Amino acid sequence: MAAKHAQSKMSRRRAIALGGGAAAGVGAAAAVGYAAFGEESAGTAATAEGTATATGTSVSGGQCVLMSSVTEGPYYLDGALVRKDITEGKEGVPLDLEITVQDTTDSCAPVKGAAVEIWHCDAWGYYSGYTTANPGGSAPAESEDGSDANDKTYLRGYQIAGGNGVVKFRTIFPGWYTPRTCHIHIRVHTGGEKADGTYEGGKTNYTGQLFFPDDTAEGVFAVEPYAQHTGTYTRLADDMVYDGKGTASGLLALEGSAAKGYRGTITLGIDPDAESTGAGSGGGGTPPSGEPPTGSAPPSPPAS
């Protein structure tokens, strides 16, 4: 069984490596949006609650708020590439994501070398590796040829923090799937190293999810290609994972527009000595129908 898993992992890694060049070929709409919006824009954006800022996890006295781990969810895959641009040709509203990792045990010191891993669905609610799973509502098929649909690797990747604890990703605004609100999955690892194009070893210190204000998400879902996915979208207040505590619960600070793209920022407070199993609070959101592909299935999601 272990040998079979290792073979599956290496096969996926080869597929990722071969597809890595596609990251440069983002959709035309996304490319225009990135150029228009600009990666290094500054400022603080309002959120639905009007309280979340890029440094919202810090409190008086310089101490950080330890972020609470939540469920890993049903769509995790190992072997994601270390890369900044994770779009792999997926079209959607551009999103430049900036994440700062701080050590809650050391006066909010940046965690140099922290490996931040993210993964999320595309504009229609599909995850790479699980593209035969129905996202709920009515959406176009992810691929006309279903024979290799689950070999795709889009919207997954690692970045490794420098001395300032900051990582940056270039991606698209996620869509949604039933019964979840719009979100990005995230894990923070320390103690490992880059190897074979991915990140290996060490331990996972934090497993969480990042969220988007309802009004912003609903504005994005009204434009193409998101508008082709119709159905009932779950708002933050009704989500099984988000607990309503703003930035401390993973709510991103956003600036920008659906026309030009968004920049999202957040600071994560972690304990570098802790270890997360990925089985935190909140249901993972089992897909409405469709099973994970054999040989690369993640741990079973908690009951939703």
Torsion, CA 266, CA 31, CA 198, CA 70, rounded to 10: 30
Confidence of residue 209 (pLDDT cuts 50, 70, 90): very high
Task: Identify the pLDDT of residue 199.
Answer: 97
Check pLDDT > 50 for residue 163: yes
Mean pLDDT value across residues 89-110: 95
The one-letter amino acid code at 25 reads G
At position 97, the amino acid (one-letter code) is L
Least confident of 133-142, 161-170, 231-240: 133-142
Q: Which residues of 86-116 are buried (b: 16+ CB within 10 A; e: fewer)?
A: bbbebbbbbbbbbbbbbbbbeebebbebbbb
Residue located via tokens 């079973």: 300
Residue 297 has pLDDT above 60, yes or no: no
Between CA 28 and CA 24 the distance in angstroms is 11
Per residue in 4-53, pLDDT tens?
Answer: 333 344 344 434 443 443 333 333 344 334 443 443 333 333 333 333 33
Angstrom distance (rounded) from CA 240 to CA 217: 17
**What would the pLDDT profile of 226-252 be if each residue is shown by its tens digit?**
999 999 999 999 999 999 999 999 999
Tell me: pLDDT of 213 over 60.
yes
HSE-up (13 A, CA, CB side) for residue 85: 19
**pLDDT number for residue 299:** 32
Cβ–Cβ < 8 Å for 125, 229? yes
Q: Residue 126: is its pLDDT beyond 50?
A: yes
Counting residues of the chain whose pLDDT is more than 90, the rounded percentage is 62
| Contact of 303 with 223, CB cutoff 8 Å | no
What is the rounded CA–CA span in Å between residue 300 and residue 298?
A: 6
Confidence check: pLDDT of 301 > 70: no
Average pLDDT value for residue range 112-123: 98
Distances (CA, A) of 70 to 109, 118, 130, 145, 243: 23, 14, 21, 34, 10
Segment 129-147 mean pLDDT: 84
The pLDDT mean for the chain works out to 78
Q: What percent of the chain has pLDDT over 70?
A: 68
pLDDT tens, 48-77? 333 333 333 333 333 378 898 999 999 999
Nearest to 109 by CA among 58, 171, 69, 33: 58
Among the listed residues 41, 52, 105, the one whose alpha carbon sits nearest the alpha carbon of residue 245: 52
Q: What is the pLDDT of residue 298?
A: 35
Q: Which two tokens stand for residue 222?
A: 């009204």
